[in-house]
Amino acid sequence: MASPRTIHVFVALCDNANQGIVPVPATLGNGQDPKSNLYWGAMFGVKTFFGKSADWERITLSEKPVAPVLDRVLFKNRNSGDYLLAEAYDGARMRTCLINYFNALTGHDTIHFAATGNTVHFGGGADMVCFVGHDGLMDLALTANEVKDPVPGRSASTVVLCCYSERFFNEQIARANGKFVLGTRGLMAPEAYVLHAALGAWLGGKDTNAIREAAAHAYHTYQKCGVKAARHLFGAKAPG
C-alpha cells in the first residue's frame, strides 16, 4: 500500500503593523492572534475553512507549536487518506516563515508526526509545500545563505497564494527545484477556498492547467470577479 501524500502549508498571519499591506480591520490584521486572523481563524482562513470542509477530517496533535509558529492543525483527507499540516506564523516573522517554506521545498528540515497509525512527514518530507499570506518578497530579499541547496533528487510541488507570486517567487522556486503548480499574476485575496480547490484537484491527479482552472472557479465563486479574470490571475487556459 502506497504511503499517504503530505502537504505542508506555511501561513504568514496577516499583520497590519508589520507587513506592507493595505490595512484590514484590527481583529483580522493582528499578526500575533491566530484566532481571528484573516488568513487563519476568520471565516475564510485556512484553519476555519478546512475545518468546516466535508473533505477533511481534523486530527488531534499532541505536539504544541513553538514560536514563531503560533498555531498548527493537521487534517486527513476523507477521500484519499492523504494529510495536510498547516502552520500559522507570527505575522512579524515573515522572513522566518519564508526561509522555512523554501527550506522545506528544497527538502530540508523534515518533521514527523504520528497520525492514525501512520508516521507522516512534513517540512522537507512533504510532497506539496504551500505558502499563503502577504507577498513578503515584495518587502525583503532572502540572502543566499538563508536558503539551503536542494537535496539531490528532491522536486516537490508548490502552491503560492499571495499577490504577484509568479513574479516574486519564480526564481527562488526554480533554484529550489520546485514544481510551481499554482501562482498568481496580480493582486489577490489569499483566502482558503482557492487553496482548498487547488489541493483537491492536485490530490485527484489533475494536471497543472486543471489545478489552475479549479482555483480560478473557486476565486470567481467567492470574489465574483468573472471566470475570465480569475483564469488570467492564475494563468489557467480555458478548456476546449
Over residues 97-148, the pLDDT tens digits come to 999 999 999 999 999 887 767 789 999 999 999 999 999 999 999 998 999 9
Using alpha carbons, select from 56, 21, 52 the residue that is nearest to residue 38: 21
Q: For the chain, give the mean pLDDT.
A: 96
Q: Find the mean pLDDT for residues 178-194.
A: 98
Residue 237 belongs to some domain of the structure:
no
Confidence band, pLDDT 50/70/90 cuts, at residue 96: very high
Residue 127 belongs to some domain of the structure:
yes
Range of 132's domain? Answer: 6-206
pLDDT above 70 for 220: yes
Which residues 6+ apart lie within 8 Å of 65 measured at CB?
71, 72, 87, 88
Percent above pLDDT 70 for the chain: 99
What is the tally of structural domains in the chain? Answer: 1
Q: Find the mean pLDDT for residues 15-38.
A: 97
Report pLDDT for 43.
98
Q: Answer for the pair 100, 10: CB distance below 8 angstroms, yes or no.
A: yes
- Compute the CA torsion angle 93, 99, 190, 122 (nearest 10 deg): -110
Residue 212 belongs to some domain of the structure:
no
Report pLDDT for 117.
73
Residue 23 belongs to some domain of the structure:
yes
Q: Find the mean pLDDT for residues 2-6.
A: 89
Select the more confidently predicted residue: 217 or 111: 217
pLDDT above 90 for 57: yes
Residue 217 belongs to some domain of the structure:
no
pLDDT above 70 for 1: no
Residue 225 belongs to some domain of the structure:
no
Question: Residue 17 and residue 66: Cα distance in Å, rounded?
Answer: 22
Identify any residues that bridge with 89 across adjacent strands, giving them in sequence order.
12, 69
